[in-house]
Structure 1
Amino acid sequence: MEPPLDRTDQQLLSLLQANARESTATLARRLGLARTTVVARIARLEREGVVAGYGVRLGRRMDSATVRAWCSLSVLPQTAPTVLRALAEMPEVEEVSAVSGQFDYLVFLRCATHEQLDALLDRIGQVDGVHQTQTSIVLSRKIDRRSLSG
């Protein structure tokens, strides 16, 4: 069993989530640690699977130029693998989470226009195994702890 994360690990993770491209020297300065200590901690967090990778978060300019929506999906029994494969092939699908409740999955969608979203929802509804959908278009984001300017 891996040891629990200490306060310094949690602070380091928070800084990396805000800006994964931050230099280790800057991270070390902000944490009050030696640069080599920060390098070693990051390596350990990666090795232990705490940090699975690094990616790109879209900024407000890109975010405001798109139509975002949450789509709840109910699928027929035994069809989940087929439905998930079909969703994975749609570039507008950014995230799929299995959820409890009336629906089986919560899907985050990002499209350039409302018309593109409408066509995408038609495609999703036609996937073999999709029983029911319910979609909510995002009007504005009020809190986002994943972004710098949330």
Structure 2
Amino acid sequence: MDQLDRQIVAALQHNARESTTKIAARLGVARTTVHERITRMESRGVIAGYSVVLREPQDESKVQVVVLLEVQQKETTRIVKRLEAYPEIKLCLSINGEYDLLLSAEAPRIEDLDILVDEVGAIPGILRTNTFVVFGRRIDRT
């Protein structure tokens, strides 16, 4: 992928229904160039598909936290299985460095997340946690 491909993908991530004509005009290239590049990226599997993202209803705003976990390595699989039971946990990533896992969790109230973090921290094999409250999203391509 070159710079133009990355710009096309970014445009599609922002609005996958935007016309190739509008994307081309914004990027200063021909519509056929955008169309051909999208087709090529789809056939190569770079673009795997398109989806619909539903907006959260305004009355259901949620608080989000990021939690770093240091775990006993031999317990990682068992811990991840336990974490799957919490619907508030939306993402669990294995990371390198001082911590081993990164969790993203959300709930309607900060108090709910306080309870979640306490429960997660009490799971055998978790050595320590570090929690951050998310104030806002600067870039969100999910």
Normalising by structure 1, we get a TM-score of 0.71
CA distance in 2, matches of 1:40, 1:128: 53
CA distance in 1, matches of 2:34, 2:79: 42
Paired position in structure 1 for 2:8: 12
Confirm or deny that 1:144 pairs with 2:138. Answer: yes
2:69–2:129 contact (8 Å) kept in structure 1: yes
Q: How many pairs are equivalent?
A: 139
Q: Which amino acid aligns with 2:69?
A: L
Aligned Cα root-mean-square deviation (Å): 3.0
Runs of 5+ unmatched residues, structure 2: none
CA distance in 1, matches of 2:17, 2:40: 18
SS of the residue corresponding to residue 106 of structure 1 reads: strand
Paired position in structure 1 for 2:100: 104
Confirm or deny that 1:135 pairs with 2:131. Answer: yes
1:131/1:49 CA distance change after superposition, 3 Å? farther
Give the Å deviation of 1:121. Answer: 1.5
CA distance in 2, matches of 1:53, 1:106: 26
Determine what percentage of the aligned residue pairs are the same residue: 33
1:94–1:108 contact (8 Å) kept in structure 2: yes
Confirm or deny that 1:33 pairs with 2:40. Answer: no
After superposition, what is the alpha-carbon deviation per residue over 1:106-138, rounded to whole angstroms, capped at 9, x for unaligned?
211111101211222233224343222121222
Give the Å deviation of 1:39. Answer: 3.9
1:17–1:146 contact (8 Å) kept in structure 2: no
CA distance in 2, matches of 1:68, 1:14: 25
Q: Which moved more, 1:5-14 or 1:82-91?
A: 82-91
Give the Å deviation of 1:86. Answer: 2.9
Indicate which of 103, 119, 123 corresponds to 1:123: 119
CA distance in 2, matches of 1:82, 1:100: 19
